Every structure is written in C-alpha cells, then in structure tokens.
Amino acid sequence: MHGDQTKLKKDPLIQDFISHLQLERSLSKNTISAYSSDIYKLKHFANSVSLDRIDHTLVSDFLKSLESVGLSARSLARIISGLKTFYKFLVSEQVIVANPLQTIDTPKLPKTLPEVLSHEEITSMLESIDFSKRSAERDKTIIMLLYGSGLRVSELVDLKVNDLYLDDGFIKVTGKGDKERLVPIGAKTIRQLKYYFQSYRLDIAKDAQLNNVILNQKGNVLSRISIFKIVKSMAVKAGIKKSISPHTLRHSFATVLIEAGADLRAVQQMLGHESITTTEIYTHLDNSYLKTIIEQYHPRS
C-alpha cells in the first residue's frame, strides 16, 4: 500500500479487517484496497474520533460531504457497502454493539446494461494498430486475449507463461479470490500468442525468470493502467465513440457467446462468475438486442 493507505496499517481495527478479508473471504487485492481506502476516508473525516466510536450522525455527515463534492451514486453505494461490511465485522468481533450504518440506505442505481462492441468494431480496433511499432503484436495480443477469452484486466496482467496450454487449447486463469479456472482459447488467438512470443516477448524479456505473458517495452510486467490506455487509444483511432475499457471487451466476449446460444453455465464458468445471477445480465443484453431486431425488421412491431 502507498500514500494514505500506509497509515491504515497503524490502525489495529483496520488491520484485523484486512486480515479477515484476506484469510476468511479470500477477496482480491484490488477489492481489499478499495475497502481500505474508503475506511481511511471515513477515519480522516472523523478526525480525532476513533473508528469504534463513530456513530450514525457522524457517518451521515461523512456521506453528505461526499455527495456535496459530486460523488456519483455508484461510487457512494460502493463506499456505503464497504463501510457496512467493516462495521458488521466489528459487531461480529464484539468490538462495538451496533452497526452505525444499519439504517443507512444504499442509493438505488439505474439498471444499465454494459457497453459492448460488435465484431466489426473489434476488427476496426485491430486494424487501427500501427504495425511499424515494436509494440504492435503485443497490443494485438492484448485485444485478442480480452475479447477472445473474456479475461479481466487483472487476470491478463497476472497471466503467466506456465498458464498457457496452447497445444490443448486452454489457458489457466487466476481470478478473484485466487480461484483458478480453465478457459478455452481459439486457434486465431493461439497463433497470435505464438507470433507475439517470437516477434516481441523473447526479445524484450530481460529477466529470464519473469513469467508474466504481457510485458512492456522495457521487459517488465505491463500495468493495468497501461492496458487501459492501449485499449482506449485503439478505440479512438478506430473512430469508436462508445466509452471503452478492457472490461468492455470482456462484456463483448460474453455477449457474443450468449447471442450464439451458448449455455449460461458454460459462460459463467469461462467468466469466473461466482454466481449465475452475475452472468444473467448478458441474457438481458441479448433480449435487448433481440428487441432492436424486431423493431427494425418486423412490419407490425
């Protein structure tokens, strides 16, 4: 942890909570970091009041202060959820008697379907790559893994050479909570990975022990932020006006499968969703797509 979050380590309540999230709930580093950051915000707002002494009124004032600076309903909902979890933990540990967020409602969020890209838009992004640049094959590999296998950006960053079973047509992915799953990989992506290794990675990797698949031009692990920038840059060059992120490619992967009639449980397994209800959003997306087709082509719609 860096910056403000370093101070969190000095608070035993927060450290106990972090240990609980790591050991008992097996949450990802990113989720734990988000929880920690939100608790720090409250701790900073409360000033000299310790976390186990914060009451409902102080929490309400804190949330109002976040609203006053224009924090979105989605971000506010995430913070409330995290703080409720933290104080629920303190109650279970008998540190406090009652959860100060017990009666605080989470803002209702509009049900929005995820943005998706068509196969034509994905193709346009790939065609926008400048293959005179050294990083071109790497960038193409990034898009093909995100769109072709539905990886989360964190999963792509962490993907290891030892996780590739190209002869068998699978890759081993370590998802949220360090849960492993096998994801099928298509022939085109396999060919691209092999070419990427030959034309880029073997030359760029300075440390022979470095096992990560995707590397930057200095031979180090490519960061999440860099992948975000690469994807967004490709979308701009391709003339795509949608709000694009690496997660958009994951959504697009799932949507293609559902629209083609893939079994929901199979898609759930490939995406690494713990609950089938998370995967079901893509059936809603598919229904939305079908509705537009009816409206466009049916004479009596």
Among the listed residues 140, 152, 201, 251, the single catalytic one is: 152
How far does Cα 7 stand from its chain's mean position? 26
Q: Which of 272, 171, 159, 180 has its CA nearest to residue 222?
A: 159
Among the listed residues 41, 176, 224, 232, the single catalytic one is: 176
Q: Is 152 a catalytic residue?
A: yes
Residue 300 phi/psi, 5-degree rounding, is -110, 15
Q: Is 224 a catalytic residue?
A: no
Q: Is 119 a catalytic residue?
A: no
Cβ–Cβ < 8 Å for 87, 94 = no
Q: Is 25 a catalytic residue?
A: no
Q: Is 247 a catalytic residue?
A: yes
Q: Which of 143, 185, 147 has its CA nearest to residue 163?
A: 185
Give helix 136-149 / helix 187-196 axis angle, nearest 10°.
150
Q: Is 273 a catalytic residue?
A: yes
Among the listed residues 172, 232, 247, 289, the single catalytic one is: 247
Instruction: List 215's β-bridge partners, or say none.
Output: 221
How far does Cα 57 stand from its chain's mean position? 33
Active site residues: 152, 176, 247, 250, 273, 282
